[in-house]
Structure 1
Amino acid sequence: MAQQFVKAQIKGDKVVVFLKPTCSYCVLAKDVLSKYKFKPGHLECIDISGRSDMGSMQDYFLEITGARTVPRVFIGEKCIGGGSDVAALDKNGQLQGMLEHIGALQ
């Protein structure tokens, strides 16, 4: 069930952040992304901390992204990593291009 949920959330034209609200890297990822003007519905932050399938969801992240940790940030269907990865892409100017490429920005 966790796999289907994750797959259903990840779409080619939006950014999805799987996170836990108490995690500092999750906060970092959200802060960086909040600087951009997204089209309505093209940025989704999903709190997995209260879910009964959280463990299997993180196992699935490991399978498809190489890490179980949160945040797992997907731009379109590609996982770009976690909080520090998002910050680095923003800093070197690549993040905006990636967001524009999938048509997520206003």
Structure 2
Amino acid sequence: MSAHVLMYSTAVCPYCVMAERLLKSKGVTEIEKVRVDLDPAIREAMMQKTGRRTVPQIYIGETHVGGFDDLSALDRAGKLDALLNPT
């Protein structure tokens, strides 16, 4: 069973699309997407939680991965699979 994936995103976000594509290539079938462009309060909550203003902001389980660049770096370092598939 793969870990729960939460992604804060907006409707028009190429990095969100790339993050989703990478996650799906790793076998993730469900991504809980939270659209921060629909409600300023949701964006504010994301900023409080992550300390960042940009999207995507990705959580795998309880771990804040960060944005697409962070996700991609984690994959290149060989650490993404272990985070997605905890034992």
Unaligned runs of 5+ in 2: none
**Pick aligned residue for 1:92 from 74, 77, 84:** 77
Unaligned runs of 5+ in 1: 1-12
For residues 31-42 of structure 1, what are the structure 2 equivalents within 5 Å?
A: 31-38=21-28
Q: Give the TM-score, by structure 2 length.
A: 0.81
- Name the Cα RMSD after superposition: 1.9
Corresponding pairs, count = 85
Matches of 1:72 and 1:30, distance apart in 2: 11
**Pick aligned residue for 2:62 from 65, 77, 80:** 77
Deviation at residue 44 of structure 1 after TM alignment: 1.6
Q: Percent identity?
A: 31
Matches of 1:47 and 1:57, distance apart in 2: 8
Provide runs of 4+ in structure 1 moved above 2 Å. Answer: none
Deviation at residue 35 of structure 1 after TM alignment: 0.8
Amino acid at match of 1:71: P
Amino acid at match of 1:70: V
